Amino acid sequence: MDLSIPFQLENYIDGKFQPPLGGQYIDNIEPATGKVYGAIPHSNEKDIQAAVTAAEKAFPAWSKTPAEKRFQILNNIAQLIDEQLDVLALAETNDNGKPLWLSQEVDIPRASSNFRFFATAAMHFAAESHTMDGSGINYTLRQPIGIVGCISPWNLPIYLFTWKIAPALAAGNCVIAKPSEVTPVSAYLLAKICQHAGLPQGVLNIVHGDGPHCGEAIVKHPDIKAISFTGSTRAGERIASIAAPMFKKLSLELGGKNPNIIFADCDWEKMMRTTLRSSFANQGQICLCGSRILIEASVYEKFKTEFVTRVQQLKVGDPLEDSSKQGAVVSKLHYDKVMGCIELARKEGGTILCGGNAFQPEGRCKDGFFIAPTVIEGLGPQCITNTEEIFGPVVTLQPFETYEEALTLANASSYGLSATIWTQDVTKAHRLAGNLQCGIVWINCWLVRDLRTPFGGTKNSGVGREGGWEAMRFFTEAKNVCVVV
């Protein structure tokens, strides 16, 4: 299998690699160096139409392919991802700016887990039946929808791309998928892997391009019956406004502003180590990062001193070096946004305890987009810094006195994706978990994932759930059949 990466990427439509029909490209920029290092198809509705035509042709056979065969193909894809871990990890790091060790340890293994997990789902998926007091039975058919659209963001490129594609294919659908235009390379390589793994042509079509032209062409296409989207709340709102009047099935996984709630009685060392990660992993560019740290007042000063000391020891630098704990943020646009948020925090009266500035490594990365991990205190729950998603290496600290105040502060957000609780008091932890307005709660841990569990948010963090049977149900239509005997 040839996994070399050409300067100009191509779309993968009908099992073939092809240039965008309009002949237009977008620059691909390496965030660690700031240099253009590739070109991405700037696809439009013509490319999407070609992909839909291919998918329509492929659907009758794929939807009837025995589950065991689908399992084998998806499992082959997982196997090939594992075999190509080093190539994929390097591509992901060059595209995204994240440390190479992180791509190797998290992003790529998770992409193969997604395929392996949903390969088995194809074999195990079953539907309900309801008997009627001996007079008859209802049974439910779970049938593939047809052609579905999967649109993913740049922060965990292949990890989130495969999280959507794998269940869609396992359930027997044909897919039109668009990775982020900011991080397209791992999706390009995945297309090569799928071709090699024996996925029939037209079953998965990967089309590159931006949101307004390529993404919206997917959302608007009348023959694409469901949209699974992960990205910003702003884009989710736009997508819903187009897809809802067309009565498409919609799964929207959107932004977050997650609280990390620390009580004085927690396992201190475990909390400190994990909080460092939940604040700054992937440069804070994980929708599940705990960007609002709420600390019981009696340990606020102790936490602040220790935390800031540890944050200042996080080495920012070339993502290709093992010693770098923090790489570059994903783009100049995002760098400007995050730096603007830090400036706003200053204007709102916040105190910058550490970071607050850009960082310029020596050598090859001197023009990259690096930001020193930043900790801010002194801002209340109504400040924009504490209400708007920043999605970068920036966290705020807020003290609380009581359980009730912690709950009020945690829920003081228009978002509702996830929350983390640190306490040894199990009663308090479970009570709080039940009262938090969000879709995912971690108690004394963070980002521990079991792929069977429902994943998603409430409020402005989205609608619908991914993961396990939730994903298989999303990617199928339920049809009830009633038989009276």
Q: Which residues contact ligand NAD by CB under 6 A?
A: 151-155, 160, 178, 180-181, 210-212, 215-216, 219, 230-232, 235, 238-239, 253-256, 287, 389, 391, 417, 457, 461-462
Q: Which residues share a beta bridge with 319?
A: none
In the complex, least distance from residue 178 CB atom to ligand NAD, rounded to whole angstroms: 6
In the complex, least distance from residue 214 CB atom to ligand NAD, rounded to whole angstroms: 7
Work out the number of other CB atoms within 10 angstroms of the CB of residue 23: 8
Give the C-alpha separation, 399 to 420, whole Å. 16
Tokens of 228: 């699974």
Give the C-alpha separation, 53 to 18, whole Å. 15
For ligand NAD, the closer of residues 158 and 266 by Cβ is 158
SS (H, E, C) 262-284: ECCCCCHHHHHHHHHHHHHHHHH
In the complex, least distance from residue 285 CB atom to ligand NAD, rounded to whole angstroms: 7
User: Which residue in 287, 289, 341, 383 is the catalytic one?
Assistant: 287
For ligand NAD, the closer of residues 154 and 335 by Cβ is 154
Whether 287 is catalytic: yes
User: Which residue in 30, 92, 253, 389 is the catalytic one?
Assistant: 253
Tokens 């228009």: give the residue.
Answer: 414
Whether 253 is catalytic: yes
In the complex, least distance from residue 295 CB atom to ligand NAD, rounded to whole angstroms: 23
For ligand NAD, the closer of residues 42 and 142 by Cβ is 42
For ligand NAD, the closer of residues 116 and 208 by Cβ is 208
417, 440 contact by CB (below 8 A): yes
Measure Cα distances from 271 to 144, 261, 386, 410, 426 in Å: 43, 10, 21, 18, 15
Tokens of 262: 């620390």
In the complex, least distance from residue 460 CB atom to ligand NAD, rounded to whole angstroms: 10
DSSP 49-93: HHHHHHHHHHHHHHHHS-HHHHHHHHHHHHHHHHHTHHHHHHHHH
For ligand NAD, the closer of residues 103 and 230 by Cβ is 230
> In this structure, are strands 259-262 and 292-296 parallel, antiparallel, or unpaired?
parallel
In the complex, least distance from residue 220 CB atom to ligand NAD, rounded to whole angstroms: 9
218, 227 contact by CB (below 8 A): yes
For ligand NAD, the closer of residues 167 and 256 by Cβ is 256
Q: Known catalytic residues?
A: 253, 287
